[in-house]
Amino acid sequence: MSATIATNPRVPTGEYPAEQTAAKPVSSKERIASIDVLRGFALLGILVLNIDSFGNPELVHDIPVGTPIPNFVGPHAHLNLALLFLKWMFFEGKMRGIFSMLFGAGLILMVTGILHTCFIWIGDILFDYGMQALLFLYPCRKLKARTLLWLGTFLSLVVAPVGGFLFLGAMHDVTLHGEMAKIAQQQRAGQPISDAQRQMEKVWQARVDENRITNAKTQDAVKEATLGYWDSVLDRAKASFQQTFYITHVDLLADNVSAMLIGMGLMKLGFFTAELPYATYLWTALVGFGISLPLYAAGVYKAYASGFFFYDVDNWLFAPYYLGREAGSLAIAAVIMLIVKRGLLLPLQRPLAAVGRTALSNYLLTSILCQTIFIWGSWKLFGKLEYYQLMYVVFGVWAFNLIASTLWLRKFLYGPFEWAWRSLTYAKVQPLRIPN
């Protein structure tokens, strides 16, 4: 980055130069610490959601139903429900939103994403980021900050919901559900129903059966997830090839690109470098949480009360998804910028910044660790842990990320994967060890 950055003495890294005169890897003194802290926080937070699909079959997006061990009955039902509320209110979509805003997506990440998807874990998002950045973000890089913010907001709050509504067949579901209400009303009044209405009943029942969570579906998902390594590599490679076409669908395209455009605009405004006034961050946090927390809390409650019936999940959680995601992402980012700007929690900021500086290495190593714990290693814990127990793995991986990153950067300039990509990018082996 060549733009002049206002130095904050409370930020736990070195000073920033006014300009760079030649293309070269960014040194540790040139890094923007507030972004490193935020990136580290988001990377750790992403695992809170990803652990669900690492450790269990996921038959409904980020909702623990259809797992081999039921999560909403028994002695831990309330603990699991409380955890579900916390995940949706403070993590769901928001960590990915922050990460999307910060992620320097490009051709190099597209290649990384392909390798990661095929050989490690199918849930990788680097592939989507790289392809979409290459196709859509690069041409937008010179747009004004206000234009980027408006364009990203329009994609997020208009295009993505409408695209998802059409692509996922939600409009058809709404129509059918309305017709079922009319039919039920007619039957209560003792009125006959037509042949066309009987056909609609069959269509609706088929839709309900399609989304019904069954033990057979769970077992099939477990079997697919625990295939032999090379068989799973082939499956992930096929999925990666298919995903090349899927990422251009309107809903997913707007999902990722919208947050990236917002991030580009915020970066130009100085939001992520903690340069804006305290009041800006405070109001962003208050308004953001004021929108996102009630929205997600009500959505989870309504979905749970319906027994996670697919129609209620779609309408209460996914229909307003992007409004809550963007508001919550910005609120969390604003709180972290306030903490950095005030110089608070420095003992925590430093290891978070270390994770942020080695984000690619931590992201890939986290996937390897989790796949080893749940699939590849001798424990084979996939499908064997309750919802709350998955958090024990999260805490363990977090400890590894924070400690290993801090220790590594005492001796080395970059994370191992960051160093490898820098060397490839500049066609020259870059120094790795910190000079004595």
Measured in whole angstroms, how far is the alpha carbon of residue 298 from the centre of its chain?
21
CA distances for 294 relative to 83, 224, 289, 290, 382, angstroms: 16, 37, 8, 7, 33
| pLDDT at residue 204, as a whole number | 94
Q: What is the DSSP string of 300-338?
A: HHHHHHTTS-HHHHIIIIITTHHHHHHHHHHHHHHHHHH
Structure tokens given for 171: 């409009």
Answer for the pair 312, 330: CB distance below 8 angstroms, yes or no: no
Structure tokens given for 402: 């924070």
CA distance 17 to 31: 10
Mean pLDDT over the full length of the chain: 82
Closest to 274 in 3D by CA, of 26, 15, 35, 97? 35
Confidence category of residue 21, pLDDT binned at 50, 70, 90:
very low
Quick check: 12 pLDDT over 60? no
| pLDDT at residue 421, as a whole number | 82
Predicted confidence (pLDDT) per residue in 252-286, tens digit: 567 788 888 898 889 888 899 899 999 999 999 99
Confidence category of residue 132, pLDDT binned at 50, 70, 90:
low
Higher model confidence: residue 250 or residue 415?
Answer: 415
Structure tokens given for 31: 């890094």
Number of helical (H) and strand (E) elements in the chain, helices listed first: 19, 0
Higher model confidence: residue 203 or residue 119?
Answer: 203
- Average pLDDT on 13-27 reads 41
Predicted confidence (pLDDT) per residue in 359-417, tens digit: 989 999 999 999 999 999 999 999 999 999 999 999 999 999 999 999 999 999 999 99
Evaluated on CA atoms 233, 235, 238, 240, the torsion sign reads negative
Quick check: 17 pLDDT over 50? no
Confidence category of residue 211, pLDDT binned at 50, 70, 90:
very high
CA distance 410 to 436: 11
The region of weakest confidence among 19-33, 39-53, 213-227 is 19-33
Answer for the pair 28, 13: CB distance below 8 angstroms, yes or no: yes
